[in-house]
Structure 1
Amino acid sequence: MEGARLFDAKTFKEIMEHNMYIDSSIRDKIKSNLESLLNVRLIEVDVDAGDNERIDVIAMGSENNPLIVLFQTVKSESVAAKAVFYLDWLINHKSLFNKLAQKAMPNINIDSIDWPKAGLLCIGGDFTKYDQYIVSHIDRNIELIRCKKYDRDILIIETVYKPAGAKLSRPIAASLEATVPNVEQNRAKRYTKISPTPRIGYCQIQDGKHYAVFPGKEKCEIFEIPISIYLAQNQFVLVDEYNRFQYAFPYWLNDNEMLSSNIASFAVVSLKDSSIFIDRGDNVLLKLNNIPSSVQLRDKNIVSVDSQNNFLRFYKQVRHNADSFMMSAKAKGHTLAFVLKILDDGVLLRDIETGKEFFRDMDTEGITFKEQQILCLHEGNIVHTLTSCKFYTLSSFYDRFEYGTVEIKEGLTFLKKLSGEIVMINDAPDYLRPGQVAYVDENNNFCGIEDDGDGLEVDAVKRNVSNISTFKRVSKKERIEVTKQVLILGNKAYENSYKLCLLKFGYKTEVLEGFEPWAKISNELRDTDVVVVVTSHISHDNMWRVKKEITDIPVVYSEFDGANRILEQVLAAENISKEVRTAR
């Protein structure tokens, strides 16, 4: 006989086990009985962790230690990756935990909370041997608890893995303290101590490995990067004395930047009592000297300093998209896949790097990810989930934009696409105005607008296209390049039709009523390449001024107000203008 079996003592009939996953009813019952089941006190449920992440339960352990209770709802989830992610979140949000704890337990002494023992309880229907193996090697206070349901509403809770002794959590990432490894672990893993203190460097990814580069061009491989964390090329990281990963800062070194020989170290800014300090990674605060009056530093900025802690420069934030992190994912052997459709028997995915679509068989009942999210796959297993689709759609890997003009009706924002289809724009920003040219992804999520005066291609801030040439591919579907601006003096009721029709050929279009004051019309002429006059919809005075004052740019006089007829005349005028310039 293999494994334990449960029998009724009176009838000796076996009580059958159900295929168990933690559904909402079981989850709610466990939450309501945490103290009797797990000896922990409930503080708060369903806590917003930002970036569309929710934490199931925040609780207080029997040793007055902060805890997160995480429910594993599908076996294919990577327990270790999620556990480390949420435990780091807990440790970095002390003040929020203290506030919630005081609300739930008014008599609690905040100073008595044992933060070094902060931990996580993961409750699931079952765990693989790989889950237990990885968790046992992470050196974090993480417990795995199996929950099985049998007939007759019997529930069995069993601890599968519990850290031996008092395994401590990593210190708060913001304090930059590094984990000091125990002697046995160092002997087993044979890491070499290469620095007397933790320090900050920037990441370089080469030959499938992540390296930390320090001032003086010293380069060392980074060890123990959590499975759920990707690093961007040139992103600043904190490593300990053994060059083991500790923290990733949201800042990076500019591409192709030549480092000054005066740089002694990189450091993180700490603002305290109206003074500016730095921490070079060793958790020692030092006064930052000689900051230029034109520089405004923020808390947690990364800066470089010389040997006397004089300010040299600060660095920009990392672009959080697939362009930045694809190289790191590939170095780990991971595939980033966009969730297109969730079906009963599996999931339709798209490989973000290649654009190829594929189907993955799985039982989708009880899964935690959703459509339009990104799955990080390793050897077919889900190791992490990215909740924001913009990680993909705001990268150069995405090539399915659709353009159109903005329409606002009864407070709702719509897009009239080039195809003529009208759709509601998801996540439409408040600054959109009727008549603007905007573009959305295949699910009609807002992606950006035409950048006034510079055309669509310059919208680099909203598109966040990476400068990393290694992984910047040529899009299958090029964005429309706006090269000319047309001013139409005619019936403004046809504005959207004009804009859509001419946009297909790279023309940005402005439409003014032909009866507008000439001062307003002349103001629009400054950046105009072609003027179209609808002769049936313009005042005599404005017609006279057009013929007299517009002499340096082509003018098209159209008897028709249809968009297609006007487009034909604009293209013809452009060709004539080119021939004249060539002849000259």
Structure 2
Amino acid sequence: MSGLKLFSTQGGVTEVAPRLADVEAEVQALVESAMEAMLGVRFLATEYNTGPVHGGRIDSLGLDENGAPVIVEYKRATDPGVINQGLFYMAWLMDHRTEFQALVRERLGATAASQVLWSAPRLICIAGDFTRYDLHAVREHRRSIDLVRYRLYGQHHVGLETVASVAAQGKVPSRPRRRGVDASVPVRRACEAMAELAAAVDEVLLGLGGDVAKVERKQYDAYQRLRNFACVTPRQDKLLAYLKAAPAAVDLVPGFTRDVTGLGHHGTGDLEVQLRSDRDLERAMDLFRLSYDAAA
């Protein structure tokens, strides 16, 4: 965000100078009031007390788009202890799963509580800035950690910039090689073609940037930066990719792209892309990049 300049065009062109909040609580209140829009995280609790033994207060607790628990810690400026503080609370969270699920049940209902994704808990640190030691430290941990720099502009604008993002994810499967298949078994051939296409889509989405994390759920695979930018659901004869790109900004093509705003489906995103072949994957590349950029 150091290179970003914001200008007001009302009554001429004047630069709106960036500033830090006067107090940490100002940043926390702002993010908590619109956490789902800003971070893709449903807000659960603020200043959550971890009890007399642990003796701490978690700034914010939430649940992301894929059902993963999220801890958010805030600092007004630069604080070298923010990552270690967050990991301290992460250890508490993993030891108190029942308590967290009870909180989810109370705030979001029984279905959300039963689907908490404990394999991918996340820590999001929001601060005025981070040191080079912070940027190195996140790459040395096995947890999913996002470092987000904020700036306030005037009285009505806030900017968020992800400066580092590391995902705790397993080994990415390699794309299978093409091989001959007996033409007398078309069902098997179709299944193998879909598996190969799915591997190609996986390779492309993960390759959009070094900050991409893959989260595997039973019904779909999510690809996220700070927020999901693509969710892929397999079907027998195609793959359905749901993107965060705005449908109104895209020329919709029947049989390939569809506006699913307000329609129920697995994963998140209002633009549905139907993929049946490598050619469809090539056609979808610009849409993938558009959605990736929107999830920064």
Name the TM tier (shorter chain): 0.5 to 0.7
| Equivalent in the alignment of 1:137 | 140
Cα separation, 1, equivalents of 2:171 and 2:84? 22
In the TM superposition, residue 63 of structure 1 has moved relative to its aligned partner by 0.9
Aligned-partner residue type, residue 68 of structure 2: N
2:157 is aligned, of 154, 158, 175, to 154
The unaligned stretches of length 5 or more in structure 1 are 169-180, 184-584
For 1:237-287, what per-residue CA distance to the aligned partner results, in whole angstroms no more than 9, with x for missing partners? xxxxxxxxxxxxxxxxxxxxxxxxxxxxxxxxxxxxxxxxxxxxxxxxxxx
| Equivalent in the alignment of 1:101 | 104
1:87 is aligned, of 81, 90, 101, to 90
| Equivalent in the alignment of 1:29 | 30
Cα separation, 2, equivalents of 1:105 and 1:114? 15
For 1:191-236, what per-residue CA distance to the aligned partner results, in whole angstroms no more than 9, with x for missing partners? xxxxxxxxxxxxxxxxxxxxxxxxxxxxxxxxxxxxxxxxxxxxxx
For 1:177-196, what per-residue CA distance to the aligned partner results, in whole angstroms no more than 9, with x for missing partners? xxxx979xxxxxxxxxxxxx
Aligned length: 168
* Cα pair distance change 1:32/1:104, threshold 3 Å: same
Tell me if structure 1 keeps the 8 A contact 2:74–2:127: yes
Cα separation, 1, equivalents of 2:70 and 2:64? 6
Q: 1:64-463 maps to which residues of 2 (within 5 A)?
A: 64-163=67-166, 166-168=167-169
| Equivalent in the alignment of 1:44 | 45
In the TM superposition, residue 45 of structure 1 has moved relative to its aligned partner by 1.5
Aligned-partner residue type, residue 40 of structure 2: N
The two structures, once aligned, show a CA RMSD in angstroms of 2.3
| Equivalent in the alignment of 1:8 | 8
Cα separation, 2, equivalents of 1:56 and 1:138? 21
Tell me if structure 2 keeps the 8 A contact 1:35–1:42: yes
Tell me if structure 1 keeps the 8 A contact 2:104–2:112: no
Aligned-partner residue type, residue 14 of structure 1: E
The unaligned stretches of length 5 or more in structure 2 are 173-296
Tell me if structure 2 keeps the 8 A contact 1:101–1:108: no
Aligned-partner residue type, residue 30 of structure 1: V
Tell me if structure 1 keeps the 8 A contact 2:73–2:82: no
For 1:392-439, what per-residue CA distance to the aligned partner results, in whole angstroms no more than 9, with x for missing partners? xxxxxxxxxxxxxxxxxxxxxxxxxxxxxxxxxxxxxxxxxxxxxxxx
* Cα pair distance change 1:15/1:22, threshold 3 Å: same
* Cα pair distance change 1:21/1:129, threshold 3 Å: farther
List 4+ stretches of structure 1 deviating above 4 A.
Answer: none
| SS in structure 1 at match of 2:103 | helix
For 1:132-191, what per-residue CA distance to the aligned partner results, in whole angstroms no more than 9, with x for missing partners? 11112212101111110122432111111112xx524xxxxxxxxxxxx979xxxxxxxx
| SS in structure 2 at match of 1:104 | helix
- What is the TM-score of this pair, normalised by structure 2? 0.52
Tell me if structure 2 keeps the 8 A contact 1:21–1:124: no
* Cα pair distance change 1:71/1:25, threshold 3 Å: same
Cα separation, 2, equivalents of 1:149 and 1:34? 16
Once the two structures are aligned, what percentage of the paired residues are identical? Answer: 27
Cα separation, 1, equivalents of 2:135 and 2:68? 23
| SS in structure 1 at match of 2:26 | helix
* Cα pair distance change 1:55/1:161, threshold 3 Å: same
- What is the TM-score of this pair, normalised by structure 1? 0.27
Higher relative contact order (CA 8 A, sep 6+): 2
Cα separation, 2, equivalents of 1:131 and 1:71? 14
1:60 matches 2:92: no
Q: 1:518-529 maps to which residues of 2 (within 5 A)?
A: none
